[in-house]
């Protein structure tokens, strides 16, 4: 079916002014381009142009799922409490779960995710290892009563998700499908034109989860990540094995106690001693759950990562003012030399080759310089303690890490038997035993992905759609609809493009050229064919590429083919 629309017939109420409530580009532009309207906090109507883009994104997701043998079905949004009670999540989920009662007083909820329903769907039906694996997906509306719905479609309460669930007889099968899903998610992001990174949780940790988040890089992203050009990426909060660069500049020297009146901070200390902040060592005092005093030692210019500190000494809690008084140690002048008896010294491993430390003397107004591990104090363990930063080295290669913010577009997860055990979803294994399914779940935020594309593809004038997601691919703009050359030429090109399988819209409105240009750039049609005076005087039209701003004069007769080829080369 050719797609040939007319602007006069499309419901796309564009706005001239920036809406005050919109803080981020995607929210502002979706409102201004007449694509969405807010109904309530975090709840939106998708107007026709947005809906066209959403359907395209859904179709990309659908194709990628079908390519890996995942089948589409449709699960109910309204779900009985009993299933959630079985999994235990009726009590665990909290206020994000929207609960309701039917007329008989029975409890239900609006699905924020569908593990319970899908597990219920296959249990009792898939009985043998021979029937496995099974992988199913849906594209459906989700409801989560988010505490802070914001940024338009990026964090809604009602939103569209592609969610897939898989069932396996063994871990290898789960891993194989998980990898296939992850590859499909990468392909999905590529086809949407997203600049993305896969952030993999470190599954080496005990009790660690096997999961990967697909993050679209964006200033307004809620997550901070570090990444390397080699493809390695991690959440800043947990980024492991990041080798901090900590050049050891100085030779070993004698341990010298220095009077440092009034010096309480690293910056003061460094300038007082005339050394760099990274040549000082910051000591952070904590207490283990057993009541042992712990000193975390990190380079003076770095931040202690609480996740890593907790990993090093589980349950350790940084001291507060009262604790400092109780221990009788000075917060502003702590150090590893002669700490209180029984203090556990845990040091960032980047300090390992630093032989001459500037540290507090555990006495107000005094510090040591030339403190040397092994000689002046014993470190109990060297480990990774600091927050990863731009410029650190990649743990996988020698690349230099960058820090960026990201939007979580999708996530893949190995669930194991979390749901199948709780819900008694079992199959008969090859050896005849009855076992719970191994499960995986895989989610993509369809409407969040739409917003993420705009966050990455927009400018002062409006949206700059990648062809794969644009509501339509080409706009033809006749600059005078009452001119008896201009309008027929425009209509002819519009018709020819549609016949050639290009999605095209004709701006047939009787408006000034400026209005048409502004709307075309605001909505962001990837290619615009401008039919003006030169169509009459020189027999040419102007072909404008939205992304580059490049404009070419093309003879009328050649325009449809030239434009069609352009579009076909940009489809993904």
Binding site for ligand ATP (CB under 6 A): 113, 144, 146, 155-156, 159, 161, 408-411, 443, 445, 447-448
Instruction: Closer to ligand ATP by CB, 144 or 457: give it.
Output: 144
| Nearest CA-CA partner of 278 in 289, 287, 267 | 267
Q: 155 contacts which partner out of Mg ion, ligand ATP, none, CB within 5 to 8 A by kind? A: ligand ATP
Tokens standing for residue 513: 């050229």
State the binding string over 352-391 for Mg ion (x if CB under 5 A, else -).
----------------------------------------
Distance, in Å, from the CA atom of 572 to the CA atom of 563, rounded to the nearest integer, reads 16
Tell me whether residue 22 or residue 238 sits nearer to Mg ion (CB atom): 238
Instruction: Name the residue nearer to Mg ion (CB basis): 214 or 427.
Output: 214
Contact 248, 353 (CB under 8 A): yes
Q: Compute how many other C-beta atoms are within 10 angstroms of the C-beta atom of residue 209.
A: 12
State the minimum distance, in angstroms, from the CB of residue 115 to Mg ion.
13
| C-alpha torsion angle, residues 119, 123, 126, 128 (rounded to 10) | 110
CA 143 – CA 528 distance, rounded (Å): 38
Residue nearer to ligand ATP on the CB measure, 54 or 559:
54
DSSP calls for 16-67: SSPPTT--SHHHHHHHHTT-EEEEETTEEEE-HHHHHHHHHHHHHHHHHHHH
Q: Which stretch binds Mg ion (CB under 5 A): 122-130, 192-200, 335-343, 406-414?
A: 406-414
- Least distance to ligand ATP from the beta carbon of 192, Å? 12
The only residue of 53, 79, 181, 411 in contact with Mg ion, by rule CB under 5 A = 411
Lookup: tokens for 174: 């789960």
Residue 68 tokens, joined: 């890996």
Binding partner of residue 146 among Mg ion, ligand ATP, none, CB cut-off 5 to 8 Å per kind: ligand ATP
Closest CA to 566 of 558, 159, 452, 70: 558
Q: What's the closest the beta carbon of residue 37 comes to ligand ATP, in angstroms?
A: 17
Give min distance, CB of 436 to ligand ATP, in A.
22
Nearest to 381 by CA among 454, 426, 456, 316: 316
Q: How far is the CB of 443 from ligand ATP (least distance, A)?
A: 3
* Closer residue to ligand ATP in complex, CB, 146/195: 146
CB of 67 to ligand ATP, least distance (A): 20
Dist. CA 97–CA 550, nearest whole Å: 49
Q: What's the CA gap between 365 and 379, in Å, rounded?
A: 24
Distance CA 432, CA 234 (A): 42
d(CA 225, CA 230): 15
Half-sphere exposure of 487 (CA within 13 A, CB side): 10
Q: How far is the CB of 24 from ligand ATP (least distance, A)?
A: 13
Question: Minimal CA–CA distance to 274: which of 299, 250, 303, 298?
Answer: 250
Report what 448 binds from ligand ATP, Mg ion, none; CB cut-off 5-8 Å by kind. ligand ATP
Q: How far is the CB of 144 from ligand ATP (least distance, A)?
A: 5
Question: Which CB atom, from 144 or from 546, has the smaller least distance to ligand ATP?
Answer: 144
Shortest Å distance, C-beta 44 to ligand ATP:
10
Q: Which of Mg ion, ligand ATP, none sits in contact with 445, Cβ below 5 to 8 A by type? A: ligand ATP
Stretch of residues binding Mg ion (CB under 5 A), selected from 106-114, 141-149, 325-333, 411-419:
411-419
Q: CA 524, CA 515: separation in Å to the nearest integer?
A: 14
> Per CB under 5 A, which of residues 245..284 are in contact with Mg ion?
none
Residue 410 touches which member of Mg ion, ligand ATP, none, C-beta under 5-8 Å by kind:
ligand ATP
Nearer to ligand ATP, 295 or 442 (CB): 442
Comparing every residue's Cβ against ligand ATP, the nearest one is 445
Cβ proximity to ligand ATP: between 199 and 386 the closer is: 199
Judged by the rule CB under 5 A, the positions of this chain that interact with Mg ion are 411
């Amino acid at each position: 079916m050719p797609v040939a629309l007319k602007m006069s017939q499309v419901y796309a109420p564009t706005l001239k002014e920036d809406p005050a409530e919109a803080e981020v580009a995607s929210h502002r532009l979706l409102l201004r381009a007449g694509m969405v309207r807010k109904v309530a906090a975090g709840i939106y109507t998708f107007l026709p142009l947005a809906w066209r883009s959403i359907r395209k994104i859904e179709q990309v997701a659908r194709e990628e799922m079908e390519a890996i043998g995942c089948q589409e079905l449709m699960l109910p949004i309204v779900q009985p409490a009993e299933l959630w009670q079985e999994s235990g999540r009726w009590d665990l989920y909290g206020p994000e779960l929207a609960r309701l009662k039917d007329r008989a007083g029975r409890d239900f909820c609006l699905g924020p995710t569908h593990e319970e329903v899908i597990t219920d769907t296959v249990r009792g039906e898939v009985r043998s290892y021979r029937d496995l694996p099974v992988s199913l997906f849906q594209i459906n509306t989700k409801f989560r009563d988010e505490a802070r719905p914001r940024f338009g479609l990026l964090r809604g309460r009602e939103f569209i998700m592609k969610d897939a669930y898989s069932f396996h007889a063994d871990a290898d099968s789960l891993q194989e499908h998980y990898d296939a899903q992850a590859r499909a998610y990468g392909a999905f992001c590529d086809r949407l034109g997203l600049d993305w990174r896969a952030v993999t949780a470190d599954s080496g940790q005990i009790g660690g989860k096997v999961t990967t988040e697909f993050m679209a890089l964006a200033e307004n992203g809620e997550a901070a990540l570090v990444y390397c050009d080699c493809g390695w990426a991690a959440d800043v909060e947990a980024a492991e094995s990041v080798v901090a660069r900590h050049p050891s500049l100085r030779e070993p020297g004698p341990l010298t106690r220095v009077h440092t009146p009034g010096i309480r901070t690293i910056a003061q200390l460094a300038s007082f001693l005339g050394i760099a902040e990274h040549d000082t060592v910051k000591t952070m005092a904590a207490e283990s759950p057993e009541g042992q005093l712990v000193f975390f030692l990190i380079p003076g210019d770095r931040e202690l990562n609480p996740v890593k500190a907790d990993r090093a000494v589980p349950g350790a809690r940084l001291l507060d003012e009262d604790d400092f008084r109780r221990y009788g140690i000075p917060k502003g002048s702590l150090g590893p030399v002669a700490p209180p008896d029984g203090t556990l010294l845990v040091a960032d491993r980047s300090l390992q080759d630093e032989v001459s430390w500037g540290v507090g003397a555990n006495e107000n107004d005094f510090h040591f310089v030339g403190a040397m591990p092994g000689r002046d104090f014993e470190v109990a363990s060297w480990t990774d303690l600091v927050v990863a930063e731009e410029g650190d080295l990649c743990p996988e290669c020698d690349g230099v890490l960058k820090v960026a913010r990201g939007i979580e577009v999708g996530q893949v997860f190995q669930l194991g038997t979390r749901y199948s055990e709780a819900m008694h979803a079992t199959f008969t294994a090859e050896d005849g035993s009855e076992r719970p399914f191994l499960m995986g779940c895989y989610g993509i935020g369809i409407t969040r992905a739409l917003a993420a594309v705009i966050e990455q593809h927009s400018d002062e004038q409006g949206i700059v759609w990648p062809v794969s997601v644009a509501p339509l691919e080409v706009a033809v703009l006749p600059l005078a609809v009452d001119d008896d050359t201009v309008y027929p030429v425009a209509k002819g090109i519009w018709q020819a493009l549609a016949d050639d399988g290009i999605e095209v819209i004709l701006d047939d409105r009787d408006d000034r050229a400026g209005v048409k240009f502004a709307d075309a750039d605001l909505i962001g049609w990837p290619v615009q064919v401008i039919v003006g005076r030169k169509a009459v005087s020189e027999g040419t039209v102007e072909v404008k590429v939205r992304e580059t701003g490049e404009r070419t004069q093309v003879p009328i007769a050649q325009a449809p083919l030239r434009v069609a080829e352009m579009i076909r080369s940009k489809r993904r």
